[in-house]
Amino acid sequence: MNVSRRALLVTAAGAAAVGPVTEASAAPAAEAGRAETGGRAETGATLRTLSAAADYAVAKVRAVAPRVTGFPVGTRFEKWTYSRGGDWVGGFWPGTLWMTYLYSGDDTFRARAVESARNLAPRQTDTTTHDLGFLFYPSWVTAWRLTGDDEWRTGAIRAADSLIRRYNPRGGFIRAWGALNDTANAGRVIIDTMMNLDLLAFASRQTGDPAYLDIAVAHAKTAQRVFPRPDGSTPHVFDFDPDTGAPLGPATVQGYDASSCWSRGQAWGIYGFTTMYRRTGDTGFRDTARRLADYAIEALTPDHVPVWDYRAPQQPYDVKDASAGAIMACGLLDLHAATGRRAYRDVALRILTALAETCLTRNSARAEAVVARCTRNRPGEDGIEISLPYADYYLLEGILRVLRPADVDRAIDLSQPS
Ligand code: GLY
């Protein structure tokens, strides 16, 4: 990180600069006026900002939920558009309802979460996508953890059974896209899949069968080998020969190009590798998460809202993806818990503060989402600075990780390796 860039890494509110994440900067900083349990960014003002954002999210979801007719996939001129079957995002609306339930204690949210999650049932046996973790973890695993009702647990395990069918043992990877009998994309691996592995860890714990976690670990080790570049950035895609398992090289679909760094993909990687460390105790996964995190922190613009691709030609003055910020903040909070390095928590708090101050839909009575300024697929010219359901979900998860960590632990299991 060059010094001028480092000096620019300030909070949206103009607080202290963020330095590189070193042992020294990770040391506890007991500064007057700061929360004792938190880092340098954890002031009372920050916590009030995050509480106000959570209050806003709860009020918005309460107002909008009665007219939600399916699984929100993104907004068109501020109104949700829907998928009936859930697309890859169907876990996030029930997940958001679970988070609003935990924060508010209002049983109406709980009932809506159950109703929405049930509509994902047909996807348990879907073998055409890797997205089963996105679909079933924040919805059904959380439902099981919060209700104890066994239908959710068995359904999530069934979804894990579908996911492991996509494992290619020759290359040691879970195929991302396409039906099993479709040769197109058969060797295509994407960084996003790191987020689907926790469903497999869950299935191994619940069944006592190590096969699920073994596949998750094999995939994560492959991803660890091929995705991170020496500077800690990642491409969106890596292709293999599906027949021999031989690596072919990086590519992209949602990033700028094969040598760029799509910010949401980088955030999936930070969060996913940290989770795999927590589920396995393999410190190599934690080290990889750190490399990805350090790159993304350095690439953040002073406003702490990620550009859609850290290496697109127009960055740092390019369109934003607030969803990348929300996901990255959750990953950094987890990485702080996994490493003890306070600077990760500080940056996470600054990102969440920036999202709360500059990305909420507050000024629009028309808006149905909580978070604005997200970008779905810039190269596809599809959804530029719109709202996306995963931004709402991860913003709430991130804020609750700060304000209500025990509740988030109940919902998604934040346990550290023993
Ligand atoms: N997992 C797809 C995306 O992040 O857009």
- 336-375: pLDDT as tens digits: 999 999 999 999 999 999 999 999 999 999 999 999 999 9
- Residues annotated as part of the active site: 131, 192
Residue 31 has pLDDT above 80, yes or no: no
The reported pLDDT for the residue numbered 22 is 38
Q: How confident is the model at residue 42 (pLDDT cuts 50, 70, 90)?
A: confident
340 occurs within a structural domain: yes
What is the CATH number for 155?
A: 1.50.10.10
264 ligand 1 Cβ < 6 A:
yes
Whether residue 417 is contained in a domain is answered as no
The total of other beta-carbon atoms located within 10 Å of residue 66's CB is 8
Q: In which domain, by residue range, is 362 found? A: 3-412
Question: How big is the chain by its Cα radius of gyration, in Å?
Answer: 20
Ligand 1 midpoint to CA 404 (Å) = 27
Cα end-to-end distance, the chain, whole Å: 34
* 192 Cβ inside 6 Å of ligand 1: yes
Q: Which of 92, 135, 195, 254 to mutate to test the pocket of ligand 1 (most atoms within 8 A of CB)?
A: 254
Confidence of residue 295 (pLDDT cuts 50, 70, 90): very high
Backbone angles phi, psi at 326, to 5 degrees: -65, -45
Q: Is there a domain that residue 418 lies in?
A: no
Ligand 1 center to 192 CA (angstroms): 6
Mutate which of 194, 268, 309 for ligand 1 pocket (most atoms within 8 A of beta carbon): 268
Give the pair of three-digit tokens for residue 122.
């047909």
Q: Is residue 153 part of a domain?
A: yes
Tell me which of 25-29, 222-226, 237-241 is least confident.
Answer: 25-29
Residue 14 has pLDDT above 60, yes or no: no
pTM: 0.92
Q: How far is CA 62 from the centre of its chain?
A: 23
Q: Is 321 in the pocket of ligand 1 (CB under 6 A)?
A: no
* Residue-wise burial string across 5-15, b where 16 or more C-beta atoms lie within 10 A, e elsewhere: eeeebbbbeeb
Residue 215 has pLDDT above 50, yes or no: yes
pLDDT over 90, % of the chain? 90
Residue 120 — φ and ψ, nearest 5°? -85, -5
Summarize the confidence of residues 282-288 as an average pLDDT: 98
CA–centroid distance, 86 to ligand 1, in Å, is 13
d(Cα 352, Cα 337) in Å, to the nearest integer?
17
Structural domain includes residue 285: yes
DSSP 401: H
Residue with the larger pLDDT of the pair 42 and 26? 42
Please indicate, yes or no, if residue 13 is contained in any of the structural domains: yes
Report the distance separating Cα 195 and Cα 197, nearest Å.
Answer: 6
Number of domains in the chain: 1
